[in-house]
Structure 1
């Protein structure tokens, strides 16, 4: 039995997984999972690993951001750039949504006003350290 294990990167069928083998040589190979707050996440990862090792499609990566979430983050960063350059929310909305300039009297009740304000707030929150929450996705609240 090896005192120190070995780490491997398995890349098959579009999935990359890091595996640590302890050198115990168990037959059949086994996965050891602690019963902690991340148990469900670990089970899903073990199932994805088993699928890949058996030549099957691994399934969806639970840690990947959805396309909608990614697009919202991109818009938030663009809104933040505009705000830091001194653009008004109306100017940001026109640039982000490729909209015609919205008249001042219509801006107060326009749907893009609130949406743009939320994007600017999200961008500012990310700039002030909120980007670290992306590292926790999808494991927030599971410690």
Structure 2
């Protein structure tokens, strides 16, 4: 196993894998905060909806529970910008940014 700067992350992942394989309690995965995990989930849901032909407004109605908005309400809604951000983040993840999920954040 390579033990470069990511070695600690790899060792932690191996520990979780071994615990799962041997029926022991699996230690929590500390790479993402609950907020980061929730955002990643919403990004994937938004990307999936977009891929299946949903409009940004429809995505907001489902993911952000905005209810049905009129065209004018939608144009002025903060949910519109939130969905655009989710889709932008999803595109970055799909383009390879998902690899960052595998590592702990490190100070430079």
Common topology (TM > 0.5)? yes
Structure with larger Rg: 1
Match runs of 1:1-143 below 5 Å? 63-139=30-106, 142=108
- 1:7-39 deviations in whole A, cap 9, x for unaligned? xxxxxxxxxxxxxxxxxxxxxxxxxxxxxx89x
Q: Look up the SS of the partner of 1:93 in the other structure.
A: helix
Does the CA contact (< 8 Å) of 2:43 and 2:90 recur in 1? yes
Structure 1: runs of 5+ lacking an equivalent: 1-36, 42-60
- 1:84-131 deviations in whole A, cap 9, x for unaligned? 111111000001022211110111110100001100111111111110
Alignment root-mean-square deviation, CA: 2.2
TM-score calculated relative to the size of structure 2: 0.68
Q: Which has the higher helix share?
A: 2
Q: Look up the SS of the partner of 2:105 in the other structure.
A: coil
Structure 2: runs of 5+ lacking an equivalent: 9-27
Q: Which has the higher strand share?
A: 1
CA distance in structure 2 between the aligned counterparts of 1:70 and 1:62, rounded to whole angstroms: 11
Does the CA contact (< 8 Å) of 1:63 and 1:138 recur in 2? no
TM-score calculated relative to the size of structure 1: 0.53
Count, aligned residues? 84
Q: Look up the SS of the partner of 1:108 in the other structure.
A: helix
